[in-house]
Homo-oligomer: A and B are copies of this chain.
């Protein structure tokens, strides 16, 4: 399996259907290569490319691709558990982290709609906005113009550690690694909705079961 292929499939299976959605999900991959990969996947019967309403292509996973989910998922879980420590700083790409966080808000525990601003001091692109609503969370690369309700300042590594469950959000705050500004009721509720990798959740559940047994 060639480079990037699992990530492309993952993005497709998680609901990215347009070229630039896929790009946002895999920012380190060149558009040339993404285009080529999509062609290859189409020829292999994993992607169907349909003409969308606006004259552009829409990419959808085929049945074969959907049934490849157990592979992708197992790879994600394994990588989360075993490849994590080998992450080099330049592999920590802010855009990719944000894009993954976008998918991981626990919308059921969001107390109200709000705008979350995140500033990452040591990232190339430092400023990010999430527009969080009951039914979905949107990610913005530029100031969307809405008033910011809650702001968060942290380094890249800290954010990653929290996201993948290596460090609880509250602990990072106590250590001064994360600074948060916002109204009390929103700040208090953060642990309930702040995005965390599904693999982190799964590990916590596994740990709970061990403890409960």
> Complex formed: what's the CA distance from A70 to B71 in Å?
8
Q: Is the interface of A mostly helix, strand, loop or mixed?
A: helix
B78 x A68 contact (CB < 8 A): yes
The tally of residues in A whose CB lies under 8 Å from a CB in B reads 13
Taking CB atoms, residues of chain B closer than 8 Å to A205 are: none
B78 x A67 contact (CB < 8 A): yes
Q: Residue A173 at the B interface, CB < 8 A?
A: no
CB distance from A72 to the nearest CB of B (A): 9
Q: Which A-B residue pairs are the 8 nearest by beta carbons?
A: A70-B74, A71-B74, A64-B82, A71-B75, A74-B74, A68-B78, A1-B1, A71-B78
CB distance from A41 to the nearest CB of B (A): 13
Taking CB atoms, residues of chain B closer than 8 Å to A56 are: none
> Complex formed: what's the CA distance from A86 to B135 in Å?
42
> Complex formed: what's the CA distance from A71 to B76 in Å?
9
